[in-house]
Amino acid sequence: MRVPAGLLELAALAAIDERRLKLRHQIAELRLRRDAALKTAINASSLSATASARAADVLKSSNEVGAKLAASETEMRRLVAQMESTGGVKEYEAVKARIAEREHLRGELETLALECMERAEAASTVAAKCAGDAAQSASEARDAEARYALAAAPLDAELDAANHSADATSASLPEALRTEYLSLLHRQGGRPVVRCENGTCDGCFTSVGSHAKSRILEGELVRCDSCGRFLLPG
């Protein structure tokens, strides 16, 4: 069977382009997986920073309430000493009333201090968990980066070689054929050259008709009337 000039080169170019498409997909998928791991790590790190800042804030409030409570206790001790050392009944009663007032304030501060300590502890637990998650995600992102580098390198090299090979094959085609091929490549999703199996175009599955079929068999460069693809003998 005769094969028309240029058709073998077209078929070779089509095979290279199909492979290039697959390689690009594979590389893009690897990149997506790596980027997803990186994004997770960035989010976890940002969550951890927020949780850590919140824990620091809550701890600061807790320490402030603690300081107020300590000041209140010092004041109480001072008042008790004043009450014990006073001579007059009237003054004694006045200090006693102030102590009672302060006692109430101290009770409130004690409750608040306890609440603050519990909140600080909870915030610190959350911050520790977020920091752990962030460290884990960072480690996973590093692994993903390493896996990407390892898996993408041979694919990149193969794509590079396929690009050279496509350039060389493309250069060997007459310019008009090359232009038609490229326009088909963009229109037909990477399959500009297909076989004609039993009189049917393998690209769009339309019958090519007996005339076209015999022209293909006679070694002419024939294109499918329906989709425009170049047809190889089946």
Dihedral sign, Cα of residue 146, residue 147, residue 150, residue 151: negative
Minimum CB separation of residue 207 from Zn ion in Å reads 10
Check residue 201 for interaction with Zn ion (CB under 5 A).
yes
Task: Convert residues 30-59 into a mask of x (bound to Zn ion by CB under 5 A) and - (unbound).
Answer: ------------------------------
Check residue 204 for interaction with Zn ion (CB under 5 A).
yes
Check residue 226 for interaction with Zn ion (CB under 5 A).
yes
Contact pick of 38, 47, 177, 227 for Zn ion (by CB under 5 A)? 227
Check residue 224 for interaction with Zn ion (CB under 5 A).
yes
Minimum CB separation of residue 147 from Zn ion in Å reads 41
**Nearest Cα to 192, choosing from 5, 1, 4, 12?**
12
Residue among 116 and 231 whose Cβ is closer to Zn ion: 231
Residue among 69 and 196 whose Cβ is closer to Zn ion: 196
Contact residues for Zn ion, defined by CB under 5 A: 201, 203-204, 224, 226-227
